[in-house]
A and B are shown apart, each in its own frame.
Chain A
């Protein structure tokens, strides 16, 4: 059966060039970068080359990059590490209502332990207002944490403006850039970012690797203690093959960014327009145009439920995701869609397609051919839909 992968915001395949390079560091150049001998030195050298590659993609200097086990750990290190480092300065944190769980849950963990938390709402497009952030600032605010681009609806946040605001007030500014890395330009200096989370497996690198950018002079208290690797910010023998793969993936992403964005935007707009033309009662979630990640499509299809859509698509080989409760593992649908003001039943019917380098126009045609049939079948089963049809008939 043919398979069409449209869930690149969940994870991406590892680029063959990346995987080939990594293999060398598993089987031949397997030294511990902390060792003095030649095996150690060659691993260390490759590790530092990777650090340079990651730094380059975000406009940082290599010494400001700390490797972690992934985006989640980097978010935890940024937030908990700052709260601990600035314990005497204050205890107030500001974040947004559409953050990834790695940020939200970490902030809520700190709140349970006595810190104050302000969660900024977003508008119906999933974008927060800089003014709301300004109003939330208190004399004891120590950290603002806002994502660069949202993982569900692709909304891009006004990071540079918030960065300017944070700088004016002397507040540490953390940005989760897991979804935007490699897709849109990032410059930690232009954006006045102090801490920035990035992850490898969203950009055709391996899973289990990420990094936290820590601006020179900013202190975070480590979460993982031990041998003092990563300038004592993150102990534990470095995942050398993974890190080297991440570095290579960053280099490729930087080289390909414009080309990827053009390809993704073309497919994105084709898919959104095609869905709107072929299915009625559809709402596009998130902004249109430049404020949306080039590879994100998110729609709510009225009167049907997201998991049913996913199962039906999956049976035809199409892989997507949904913000319905059934797929979130809780009774509520996506917190992002709810924060954007969607009512539960519309949030339950949401469907996310996230595009990647290997997707083709022909694959989008296949989705556009199959999806309307699936929706029709599910709507024929739906008691919500026949209420609407009855109303229409009565009119």
Chain B
């Protein structure tokens, strides 16, 4: 039911973990629906220098989290903001239809982390 790429990212997730004193953190989902994704950002200038994730959820939730971190490392914040959940799913070779809505939230978590970073910056200024 999952593509090889999904299984690869589930089995060997990229960038799992936390960043100490991150520049931005974003979290989406809740335990009730069975998926929680948290993304940590390390930002230098306008560039995402490092990104890590922690996810509670099904295979698709883990794989999309892993994939989105791989897609945005080294990208500018603006470039990262336009990456959609659909683009993450596409990069994984697609997800089963039932998973498109419930477990495909990794880009949302990323965007939440960027928003969190920008809010912190505004406060500093």
The answer to whether A344 touches B55 (Cβ under 8 A) is: no
Contact B98 A308 (CB under 8 A): no
CA distance A333 to B55 in the complex (A): 18
Tell me the dominant secondary structure on chain A's binding face: helix
B interface secondary structure, majority: mixed
Q: Do A305 and B34 touch across chains, with their CB atoms under 8 A apart? A: yes
> Which A-chain residue is minimally distant from B34 (CB atoms)?
A348
Q: Who on chain B is nearest to A324 by CB?
A: B34
| Minimum distance in angstroms from A123 CB to a CB of chain B | 23
Q: Is the CB of A383 within 8 A of B16?
A: no
CB atoms of B54 and A307 under 8 A apart = no
A331 within 8 A of B: yes
Which of A311, A326, A348, A381 sits near B55, CB closer than 8 Å? A381
Tell me whether B56 and A304 are in contact (CB under 8 A).
yes
Most buried by B among A311, A331, A344, A380: A311
How far does the Cβ of B33 sit from chain A's closest Cβ, in whole Å? 6
B107 close to chain A: CB less than 8 A = no
Taking a contact as CB atoms under 8 Å apart, the answer to whether A344 and B31 are in contact is: yes
Interface membership of A114, Cβ < 8 A: no
> Are A381 and B33 in contact, CB atoms less than 8 angstroms apart?
no
* B98 x A382 contact (CB < 8 A): no
Q: Could you tell me if B58 and A324 are in contact, using CB atoms closer than 8 angstroms?
A: yes
Q: Please, which residues of chain A bring their CB within 8 A of the CB of B55? A: 381-383
Which residue in A307, A333, A345, A380 is a CB contact (below 8 Å) of B59?
A307
Report chain B residues within 8 Å CB of A307.
Answer: 58-59
- B34 A380 Cβ-Cβ under 8 A: no
- Which chain B residues numbered 1 to 45 have a C-beta less than 8 Å away from chain A? 2, 7, 10-11, 13, 16, 18, 27, 31-38
Across the A-B interface, how many residue pairs have beta carbons closer than 8 Å? 72
Within 8 A of B (CB), among A306-351: 306-308, 311, 315, 324-326, 329, 331, 333, 344-345, 348
Tally of chain A residues near chain B (CB < 8 A): 24
A384 at the interface (CB under 8 A from B): yes
Bound CA span A326–B59, Å: 9
- Contact present for A381 and B13 (CB under 8 Å): yes
Q: How far is the CB of B102 from chain A (nearest CB, A)?
A: 6
Point out residues on A near B: beta carbons under 8 Å: 303-308, 311, 315, 324-326, 329, 331, 333, 344-345, 348, 380-386
23 of the cross-chain contacts (CB-CB < 8 Å) are A305-B34, A305-B56, A305-B58, A306-B58, A308-B57, A308-B58, A311-B2, A325-B102, A326-B58, A326-B59, A326-B60, A326-B102, A331-B102, A333-B34, A344-B33, A345-B34, A380-B16, A381-B16, A382-B55, A382-B56, A383-B38, A383-B54, A384-B56
